Amino acid sequence: MAIDNKNVLWVTGDNRGAVSGLGNKNKNTSFVRVVDQVKAVSVSDSRSMIIKSDNSVWTAGSNGFGELGIGNAVSNGTFVKVADGAEQIESGSENGFIIKSDHSLWASGFNHYQIFQSLSLADVSDTYQKIADNVKAISAGQAHLLMLKTDGSLWACGQNVDGQLGIGSNTDQRGFMKVMDGVKAIKACSYHSLVIKTDNSLWSTGHNEFGELGIGNSVNQNRFVRVMDGVSAIAGGRFFSMAVKADGTLWASGYNNQTFGITGPDQKNFIKVADNVTAIAAADYHSLMIKNDKTMWATGSNTYGEIGAGSERSLDVFAKVKLP
């Protein structure tokens, strides 16, 4: 999904979960216009969420278990309003999250890792419930969560078999546990985690079979390890990581089967892949970047048309993608 400079939302790719907001489950290989007046978007396999210009939150998806936060209503695949006063949204595989203007965190969906203290592990919250205060950011991985509080403290919960929580063990964590202080940005990838600390240093933990932590080896870590300095933005896919430095250079590490725009083997250290980059995003096996001139570029797997280049041909280097 992409938002253009006129706040129009566009979508491409797989839509079996009815997440496009178009009211169908059709796959698209080129970007299709969805809705206007959108200022933020977050999408996963199970749901999409948008913030409109009036700060209202809308969601789309299948709602087979009531996980969308619209009650037990049958979803028709179009966007349904669920909240007002939002500052940030995050669409996870099991939950939707909203941070409101008062920094309260609200969630809907499954409770496998006890984020809803009033519910049992088997329950599903089919409406949005407040679960925390003083929250600055939330990021959802495959089955783990990172939460950044307004005081710069990092909290985590969920699956931890690969050490992705960074708590010094590989034990799953029910409910949020404090990890460390001095954090300014977070990214929970599928099985690993990335954070930027207040001194702009990048730290990583978790799964590292393909070198996605960028620390020069392929050994999993269960505590955050310092990687490099001068980082301003982070993103990551299933087994790779990306970082933009303050000078606009884009760096990547990990699994490299067309995932981050250069040909060659997997990378155990971060390697420079582009210049003049202002924003990045990544999913399982593809990546997107926006350059200084406002152009959008994509690379990686394109089996479902997720790159939006008009075909299902995958790309092993970045190519410019235009919205209609």
d(CA 2, CA 53): 15
* Positive or negative: CA dihedral 127, 128, 131, 137: positive
Checking if the pLDDT of 223 tops 90, the result is: yes
Mean per-residue pLDDT over the chain, rounded: 96
Single out the residue of 49, 17, 14, 15 nearest to residue 35, CA to CA.
49
> What average pLDDT score do residues 242-251 get?
98
φ, ψ dihedrals at 131, nearest 5°: -125, -10
Question: 0.95 cut: is pTM over it?
Answer: yes
What is 139-324's CATH number, 2.60.120.560, 1.10.3080.10, 3.40.50.10420, 2.130.10.30? 2.130.10.30
Q: Do domains 1-133 and 139-324 have the same CATH topology?
A: yes
d(CA 316, CA 78): 33
Q: What is the CA radius of gyration of the chain?
A: 19
Here the tokens at position 178 are 């404090």
Residue 258: what pLDDT? Answer: 86
Cβ-Cβ contacts under 8 Å for 64 (sequence gap 6 or more): none
Q: How confident is the model at residue 189 (pLDDT cuts 50, 70, 90)?
A: very high
Checking if the pLDDT of 20 tops 90, the result is: yes
Tell me, letter by letter, the H, E, C secondary structure of the chain: CEECCCCCEEEEECCCCCCCCECCCCCEEEEEEEECCEEEEEECCCEEEEEECCCCEEEEECCCCCCCCECECCCCCECEEEECCEEEEEECCCEEEEEECCCCEEEEEECCCCCCCCCCCCCEEEEEEEEECCEEEEEECCCEEEEEECCCCEEEEECCCCCCCCECCCCCEEEEEEEECCEEEEEECCCEEEEEECCCCEEEEECCCCCCCCECCCCCEEEEEEEECCEEEEEECCCEEEEEECCCCEEEEECCCCCCCCCCCCEEEEEEEECCEEEEEECCCEEEEEECCCCEEEEECCCCCCCCECCCCCEEEEEEECCC
Q: How confident is the model at residue 257 (pLDDT cuts 50, 70, 90)?
A: confident
> What average pLDDT score do residues 196-208 get?
98
Checking if the pLDDT of 145 tops 90, the result is: yes
Domain limits, the chain: 1-133, 139-324
Asked whether the beta carbons of 302 and 245 are under 8 A apart, the reply is no
Here the tokens at position 234 are 């982070």
- Chain CA centroid to CA 132, Å: 20
Q: Which CATH class is domain 1-133?
A: mainly beta
Here the tokens at position 161 are 């078999």
Here the tokens at position 53 are 């210009």
d(CA 174, CA 191): 17
Q: How confident is the model at residue 46 (pLDDT cuts 50, 70, 90)?
A: confident
pLDDT tens, residue by residue, 158-183: 999 999 999 999 999 999 999 999 99
Side chain identity at 79, as an amino acid letter?
A: F
d(CA 286, CA 302): 8
